[in-house]
Amino acid sequence: MTDNRTLRWLLFGYLALVFVFIFAPILFSVIFSFNSDRFPTIPLGNFTLKWYQTVWNDPDVWEAARTSLTVSLSTATIATALGFATAYTDYRYSFRLKPIYLGLILLPPTIPLIIMALAMLAWFAKLGISGQVMSIIIAHSVLTAPFAMAIIRLRLSQMDPSLEAAAWNLGANEWSAMRRVIVPFCKPAIISSFCLTAAVSFDEFAISWFVSGLNKTIPVIILEIVTGNIDPQVNAIGSFVFLVSMTLVIIAQVVLMTRRKKEN
């Protein structure tokens, strides 16, 4: 292509603008959380911590934080276990109906959350397990298992297939080959899938809102505050939420990336 310098810099400038658009809401939310104005705009008001103090002293928020933590850790555990089992099955076995088998785990993210929320609400009511923390955990596991599966499957495809066979030939049975060869090899992917599924669960609001009953998670609290009126508390809670999920995502990616570098 023409190495036209002007065009090149125009494209870079455009790319930078797109990144500004993508990160502006995150950045502004953090800035506004330290801003004294009730309705933040420019020029900014004074620096303040009062929104954080309001949030800190709110027992509802603490309760919700505890629920969110329980939900996201349990979800991450279940989803990663399911994802690992499925990824291994796909890696090792071939059988008829495999496309259906894979569709079963990979399809949930393509269905709009609001539809999943309605379906889960009705189904849990039918089974008599609605309005519990457990209902959110189950729903989130269905939603996040595909992510776990994809990450771990990718890792397995980097493994030398003769590795497991070698372990069998050296006398390991299937279970100990699994424990000593497969699981250690997949460890970075397992850690990173744990973090990512926890992050998705921590931020999910539509399903939680529908099925949670009285056990509100943090995103549900945010949704309720936002529906009321403009309240900068949301920015304080939001910044906290961003901090948690970004930390999880960054850990996940760093674990995957450093491993890859070491092996190359």
Distance CA 188, CA 152 (A): 9
Our finding on whether 249 is near another protein (CB under 8 A) is yes
Our finding on whether 148 is near another protein (CB under 8 A) is no
Residues 56-75 that bind another protein (CB under 8 A): none
The Cα–Cα gap between 259 and 187 comes to 10
Q: Is 107 in the site for another protein (CB under 8 A)?
A: yes
14 lines the binding site for another protein (CB under 8 A): yes
Residue 55: CB minimum distance to another protein, A: 13
Q: Which region, judged by CB under 8 A, interacts with another protein, from 52-60, 65-73, 185-193, 236-244? A: 236-244
Q: Given candidates 45, 69, 77, 102, which one binds another protein under the rule CB under 8 A?
A: 102
CB of 172 vs another protein, minimal distance in Å: 11
Residues 6+ apart with CB under 8 A from 241: 202, 203, 218, 219, 222
Total of chain residues touching another protein, rule CB under 8 A: 96
Residue 47 touches another protein, criterion: CB under 8 A: no
User: Of the candidates 20, 49, 115, 183, which one interacts with another protein according to CB under 8 A?
Assistant: 115
Strand partners, 35: 47
User: What is the CA 193 to chain-centroid distance, rounded?
Assistant: 9
Asked if 229 is part of the footprint of another protein (rule: CB under 8 A), the reply reads no
Applying CB under 8 A, does 247 fall inside the site for another protein?
no
Q: What is the CA radius of gyration of the chain?
A: 23
With contacts defined by CB under 8 A, name the span among 39-47, 50-58, 62-70, 184-192 that binds another protein. Answer: 39-47
